[in-house]
């Protein structure tokens, strides 16, 4: 899909000037030590700069909305990499966000999906990828496997939870005006002693 998307975009870009602009497909979002899809974007940018390229336009194909990977990783980190290797003009195409055509497309896909039988996630992937049986894998297998995705996701969530818990233990819970448990933000309350006090009070009533 991604490769086909690149092909269609370049057909449109070169519509009036066939062959004038070229493209390279690269990947980001690597988490943890497991091998990810390559070539990596920073490596491609380095090679482009060393090859004398001066102008680059980045199209974030897989990102449908602005978030940390477009606003920080692409706009700031990758821009720095590009400039360090001689690329003078580095631009990025905005994500689709709430573009009316994109929202209309999502609505059409949703309505079409509603009319079809419900499937589990694994069944949907097998159907979409036209795989009769899920591919086997070894726990030590490297590369973008389903197991690697699972491990990467769990490592990332564990890291975020550890960071949040450490912050709560170190600094405590700030008072907030919004939804709260015992006057605290719900996640923060879950890891603080005073956040649990309302449960103890409730149990005391029944005792």
**pLDDT per position as a tens digit, 140-192:** 555 556 666 677 778 888 887 787 777 666 666 655 554 444 444 555 555 55
The pLDDT value given to residue 183: 47
The better pLDDT of the pair 26, 33 is held by 26
The pLDDT value given to residue 154: 84
The pLDDT value given to residue 179: 47
Task: Give the containing element (helix H, strand E) for 190.
Answer: helix 186-190
pLDDT above 90 covers a percentage of the chain that reads: 43
The pLDDT value given to residue 35: 76
Distance CA 86, CA 81 (A): 9
Sequence-distant (≥ 6) Cβ neighbours of residue 112 within 8 angstroms: none
The pLDDT value given to residue 182: 45
Task: Please state, rounded to an integer, the average pLDDT across all residues of the chain.
Answer: 79
The pLDDT value given to residue 175: 56
The pLDDT value given to residue 7: 94
- The neighbour count for residue 90, using CB atoms within 10 Å, is 19
What's the whole-model pTM score?
0.57
Question: How many residues does the structure list for the chain?
Answer: 207
Tokens coding 180: 């709260």
The pLDDT value given to residue 171: 65
What's the Rg (C-alpha) of the chain?
Answer: 24
Cα pseudo-dihedral 135, 152, 74, 88, rounded to 10: -80
Burial class (CB in 10 A: 0-12, 13-18, 19+), 172: exposed
Inform me whether the pLDDT recorded for 48 exceeds 80: yes
What does the pLDDT look like over 57-93, one tens digit per residue? 999 998 999 999 999 999 999 999 999 999 999 999 9
């Amino acid at each position: 899909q991604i490769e086909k998307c690149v092909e269609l975009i370049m057909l449109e870009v070169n519509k009036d000037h066939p062959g004038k602009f070229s493209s390279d497909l690269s990947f980001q979002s690597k988490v943890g030590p497991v091998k990810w899809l390559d070539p990596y974007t920073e490596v491609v940018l380095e090679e482009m700069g060393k090859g004398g390229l001066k102008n680059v336009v980045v199209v974030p194909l897989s990102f449908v909305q602005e978030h940390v990977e477009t606003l920080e990783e692409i706009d700031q980190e990758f821009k720095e990499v590009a400039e360090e290797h001689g690329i003078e003009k580095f631009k990025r195409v905005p994500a689709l966000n709430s573009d009316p055509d994109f929202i209309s497309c999502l609505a059409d896909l949703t309505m079409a999906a509603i009319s079809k039988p419900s499937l589990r996630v694994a069944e949907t992937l097998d159907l979409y990828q036209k795989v009769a049986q899920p591919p086997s894998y070894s726990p030590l297998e490297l590369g973008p496997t389903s197991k690697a995705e699972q491990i990467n996701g769990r490592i990332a969530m564990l890291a975020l939870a550890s960071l949040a818990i450490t912050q709560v233990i170190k600094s405590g819970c700030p008072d907030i005006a919004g939804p709260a448990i015992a006057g605290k933000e719900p996640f923060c309350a879950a890891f603080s002693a005073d956040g649990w006090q309302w449960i103890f009070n409730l149990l005391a009533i029944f005792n």
